[in-house]
Structure 1
Amino acid sequence: MTSLNRRHFSVLAGSAALAGLGSLRAHAADAPLVLGQSAPFTGPAAQLGIQFNQGANLFLEQYNAQSGQRPVTIRHLDDGYDPERTAANTRQLIQEQVFALFGYIGTPTSLAALPLTAGDNIPFFAPFSGAMSLRNPFRRNVFHVRASYNDETAQIVRHLTTIGNNQIAVFHQNDAYGHAGLDGVTLALAQLKLRPVATGVVERNSVDVGAAVRTIVAAQPHAVVLISTYKSCAAFIRAARKAGFSGTFYNVSFVGAEALANELGKEGSGVVVSQVVPSPSSGSSALAREYQEAMRKGGGGAAGTYASMEGFLAAKVLVEGLKRAKSPTREGLIAGLETLDRQSFGGFDVTFTPRSHMGSKFVEMSMLTAEKRVIGLGPHGDPLPAMVA
């Protein structure tokens, strides 16, 4: 584990202790505001939970170090990307009277938590999911910082069809997340009077991809859009190539680009991943430069991941909502967030209003290299300039 990881998990342990000792008290003026997070810290989606949490804590460490600030901490529980565990964790966090729920990872897990938040109108902020089922119908306590899967898949389909790749198959997880991505691809293709040439499924937390590979490779698509976690996507890509598939692979952001690159190694070369935040190594994004500087100050060097930077951004946006709140209450946070009208966070615009809590539609592409790197791509597929260390 890196020094940054050790430091952040030390912070997490402290946050957990704070929550356990003081969460049942009223939110006194000098007590930390505790955010509750249920996320995978073990299992096949663990890197997403770990990285998002680290990025959020990276921002909060700096924020809490400022004089006169009421501390904000995160109480995290591991759900292993299992909706039943997520529901149990959420009940525990609500019983502990956390101030808000933050940074849940995944569609089926977030859907398991949402009904539990409605009664007390607990803010449910920045779920790491683009599913429309979390966005529609509108829920006043739910705020989305990232673009939707419809936004991501529309960009993927546009990218593919612009270069003449009209025969598109979909490999997807057999749950709410996978079906959300499939719906997005299907909708984008329908607008061009096209449809998926084949689909294949994998069960959540499984890498049994054999049947999906046989079905999709037999259809001879130009490209496959993958809507699953990095373990199963890596298994599919390897098996499809071994079966003779020579087309391209496109993934949505939830795959975790760096985790997928590490899983695939040299076999990742040319695999494309859509992203909902700028490249963490971008030299042209003020948000990325701020994140990189925070990484350096935090002892993590100049490395970073998309999921970690999304956590950093999410914490930054939530804190801005707190600053705008007229009172440090849940209702105050909701009202404060609803004043963010085209608010720029280092060039990344977020808009929340009383009628819409879908903060961003930002999507860009990235590509994996044989060296396990993830490079941002411009609108024409050209690599974006990286930050000079």
Structure 2
Amino acid sequence: MSSSRRHWLRFGLAAAACPRAGLAAPEGATQAPRNAVVVGQTLSLDAGRNASAVAVRQGIETALQVVRLNGGIRGRPLWLRTLDDQGDPEKATQNAQRLAADGALLLFAPLGDRCASAVLAEARRSQTPLMAPLSGLARFYEAAPSGVYPVRASAAAECEALWRQAKALGMKRLATLHLDDEWGQSLRDDARTTALSLSLAQPMSLSVTPGSPAQALSPLLERARTADVVLLLTGGPAAAEFVRQARRQGLRAVIMGLSSTATELLQPLGAEAYGLQFSQVVPSPWSTSLLWVQQYQAAFKATFRGQHLSHLSLEAYVSTLALAEALRVAGPQPTRDGLRAALSNHSVELDGFSSHYLDAEPRGSRYVDIALVGHEGRWRQ
């Protein structure tokens, strides 16, 4: 058992007795304690209206219970300062600049391809480490330059798992639905590369201009009639409308999606989400076989009574544990340079899940599973 695994499993299920004891501080909150280890985050708070951001926030606060109960970071509290970017990349850049200038040890868990990419650019400019971007874009998994430490699996790994599933079911005619922008094209390229690596034909590209009206999907739906499977690389309104129209027109193609699209699609689709398959980059949040997931469940339910567990909150939870481990191994007085040194060739391991930053190997986790949306939105994984 690795030292990180021993450390974070030590506290048992005690988090259930300590609701809402975390130290996640949104903008305007009380200043960090004098001896706190301060980490910066930019996230779309949006008064709780962004479902994905809410799930991320819940996962982080749940993990902070675990960190606190384990004595913090070598006896010091972990303080996460969060600024609201409202999902706007420009505001995310401004927030990252402000956090870096104010001395945050690292930037943590920006959400979404656009905002995370904006934070990455600022992290590189200011030489501030960036950990656990909640995006699978290829740029976060490059071995160089150092200073970027993904925790979750890449979108390429997700595409590979989904294409393997399609291949095992005898599906040969592949298609991808993606936005026609920088980020959508990067995901399309991942889907193409992984399909070819599995000796599958190049997927047909169904490209949507951001902000297109619903009627713009008609020619794409017609083309999709020849596909055995359509992989959703976007989870926005266009993807939801595509699924609705595909259902109503009786398209026979199996519809799959990346983990990042699930939260954005389930609520608007409702019952029409039944049968959709998604890659997931963490184990089932309802698992009863993994101790650390049980601990997440206990802490979450104590902190957010009546709220629902989710894959995204579990992803944020394990990312926060990885953050705390990185700060812990960086020494009693962690610095940005010390963090880089500590994370070189370092890994975090929990039962059934690992994430690493090993030289000459893919960074982050390789964990990818596939989950099916069942009746009443219940997951089968």
Matches within 5 A, 1:203-282: 203=210, 206=211, 208-220=213-225, 221-255=227-261, 257-282=262-287
Report the counterpart of residue 316 of structure 1 in structure 2. Answer: 321
Any conservation in 2 of the 1:177–1:227 contact (CA below 8 Å)?
A: no
Any conservation in 1 of the 2:153–2:281 contact (CA below 8 Å)?
A: yes
- Cα distance between partner residues in 1 of 2:158 and 2:134: 14
Any conservation in 2 of the 1:81–1:109 contact (CA below 8 Å)?
A: yes
1:114 CA displacement: 1.9
1:291 CA displacement: 1.0
Report the counterpart of residue 47 of structure 1 in structure 2. Answer: 51
1:339 CA displacement: 4.9
Please give the secondary structure, in 1, of the residue aligned with 2:204: coil
TM-score by length of structure 1 reads 0.83
Report the counterpart of residue 132 of structure 1 in structure 2. Answer: 138
Query: Cα 1:216–1:184, aligned 2, differ >3 Å: closer, same or farther?
Result: farther
Please give the secondary structure, in 2, of the residue aligned with 1:17: coil
1:156 has 2:156 as partner: no
Corresponding letter in the other structure for 1:197: M
Any conservation in 2 of the 1:138–1:356 contact (CA below 8 Å)?
A: no
206-215 vs 243-252, greater mean Cα deviation:
206-215
Query: Cα 1:253–1:316, aligned 2, differ >3 Å: closer, same or farther?
Result: same
1:328 has 2:334 as partner: yes
Query: Cα 1:176–1:375, aligned 2, differ >3 Å: closer, same or farther?
Result: farther
Please give the secondary structure, in 1, of the residue aligned with 2:86: coil
Which of residues 28, 37, 40 in structure 2 aligns to 1:36?
Answer: 40
Which deviations, in whole Å up to 9, do the C-alpha atoms of 1:124-182 show, x marking residues without a partner? 00001111122236221110101111111011111112212111211112333322221
7-16 vs 58-67, greater mean Cα deviation:
7-16
How many residue pairs get aligned? The number is 359
- Cα distance between partner residues in 1 of 2:221 and 2:144: 36
Which of residues 276, 282, 304 in structure 1 aligns to 2:309?
Answer: 304
Report the counterpart of residue 8 of structure 2 in structure 1. Answer: none
239-248 vs 51-60, greater mean Cα deviation:
239-248
Matches within 5 A, 1:2-21: 12-13=24-25, 16-18=28-30, 21=31
Which of residues 341, 362, 365 in structure 1 aligns to 2:367?
Answer: 362
Matches within 5 A, 1:128-207: 128-136=134-142, 138-191=144-197, 192-203=199-210, 206=211
- Cα distance between partner residues in 2 of 1:45 and 1:81: 11
Any conservation in 2 of the 1:43–1:80 contact (CA below 8 Å)?
A: no
209-218 vs 223-232, greater mean Cα deviation:
209-218
1:346 CA displacement: 3.5
1:242 CA displacement: 2.5
Please give the secondary structure, in 1, of the residue aligned with 2:309: coil
Between the two structures, name the one with larger relative contact order (CA 8 Å, sep ≥ 6). Answer: 2
- Cα distance between partner residues in 2 of 1:48 and 1:273: 16
Any conservation in 1 of the 2:127–2:147 contact (CA below 8 Å)?
A: yes
Query: Cα 1:89–1:136, aligned 2, differ >3 Å: closer, same or farther?
Result: same
Any conservation in 2 of the 1:171–1:212 contact (CA below 8 Å)?
A: no
Which of residues 78, 82, 85 in structure 2 aligns to 1:76?
Answer: 82
1:44 CA displacement: 12
1:198 CA displacement: 4.1
Corresponding letter in the other structure for 1:333: L
TM-score by length of structure 2 reads 0.85
Which deviations, in whole Å up to 9, do the C-alpha atoms of 1:247-301 show, x marking residues without a partner? 211000111x345222211111100110111110112233321211211332435
- Cα distance between partner residues in 2 of 1:275 and 1:262: 17
- Cα distance between partner residues in 2 of 1:202 and 1:14: 34
Any conservation in 2 of the 1:149–1:184 contact (CA below 8 Å)?
A: yes
Which deviations, in whole Å up to 9, do the C-alpha atoms of 1:194-217 show, x marking residues without a partner? 1123413141xx473432342243
Report the counterpart of residue 108 of structure 2 in structure 1. Answer: 102
1:234 CA displacement: 1.8
1:319 CA displacement: 0.8
1:10 CA displacement: 9.4
- Cα distance between partner residues in 1 of 2:175 and 2:218: 11
Which deviations, in whole Å up to 9, do the C-alpha atoms of 1:52-93 show, x marking residues without a partner? 122012111332245462111222222233222211221222
Query: Cα 1:193–1:161, aligned 2, differ >3 Å: closer, same or farther?
Result: closer
Give the percent of matched residue pairs that are identical in Structure 1 and Structure 2: 26
Corresponding letter in the other structure for 1:103: A
Report the counterpart of residue 381 of structure 1 in structure 2. Answer: none
Any conservation in 2 of the 1:318–1:337 contact (CA below 8 Å)?
A: no
Report the counterpart of residue 383 of structure 1 in structure 2. Answer: none
Structure 1: gaps of 5 or more residues:
23-27, 377-389
- Cα distance between partner residues in 2 of 1:259 and 1:13: 25
Please give the secondary structure, in 2, of the residue aligned with 1:371: helix
148-157 vs 258-267, greater mean Cα deviation:
258-267
